[in-house]
Amino acid sequence: MASPTPRERPLSPHLQIYRPQMTAISSILTRISGNALIVGAFLLVWWLMAAATSESYFAFADGVITSWFGDLVMTLSLWAVWYHYLAGLRHLYFDAGKGMDIETAERLGWACVIGSVVLTAVTLLII
């Protein structure tokens, strides 16, 4: 039975000393990038439907998608495509049973982040 007197126990370290692992961050980024792709897809479908609706409505939708907000959403969607692609390749590598040690998994997570930023910049320069 539990004793009624409280015991001295150490406090949980919580976030003061916790360092997030790259494996967890890359998993979270994969989910975020997947949801970001949905937002970009909705904006693109809205733009296409506006083109089929009327000229004035298309002018409004085109104004939104070519504004700074639309450019930001499309650029982030482009990054999300590249990140999601690289993360998928990383998971295929994991599915083959390779790269399962912590050091390799962290390197591959950083490769996805840095690679997606570089590929986004290259794609924007080409376009």
Residue 13 belongs to some domain of the structure: no
Residue 15 belongs to some domain of the structure: no
Residue 7 belongs to some domain of the structure: no
User: What is this structure's pTM?
Assistant: 0.79
pLDDT of residue 19: 76
| Residue among 75, 72, 81, 47 at smallest CA distance from 62 | 47
Residue 96 belongs to some domain of the structure: yes
Residue 57 belongs to some domain of the structure: yes
Question: For 49-59, what is the mean pLDDT?
Answer: 95
Question: For 101-119, what is the mean pLDDT?
Answer: 94
Task: Tell whether the model's pLDDT for residue 11 goes beyond 70.
Answer: no
Q: What does the pLDDT look like over 65-100, one tens digit per residue? A: 999 999 999 999 999 999 999 999 999 999 999 988
Domain limits for position 28: 22-126
Q: What total number of domains does the chain contain?
A: 1
Which CATH number do you get for residue 81?
1.20.1300.10
Burial string for 21-48 (b: 16+ CB within 10 Å, else e) reads ebeeebeebbeebeebbeebeebeeebe
Residue 14 belongs to some domain of the structure: no
CA distances from 113 to 64, 108, 109, 118 (A): 29, 9, 6, 9
* Contact between 106 and 72 (Cβ < 8 Å): no
Cα of 62 vs its chain's centroid, Å = 26
Residue 113 belongs to some domain of the structure: yes
Residue 27 belongs to some domain of the structure: yes
CB atoms within 10 A of CB 86: 22
Rounded distance between C-alpha atoms, residue 9 and residue 67, angstroms? 57
| Residue among 73, 87, 75, 77 at smallest CA distance from 125 | 75
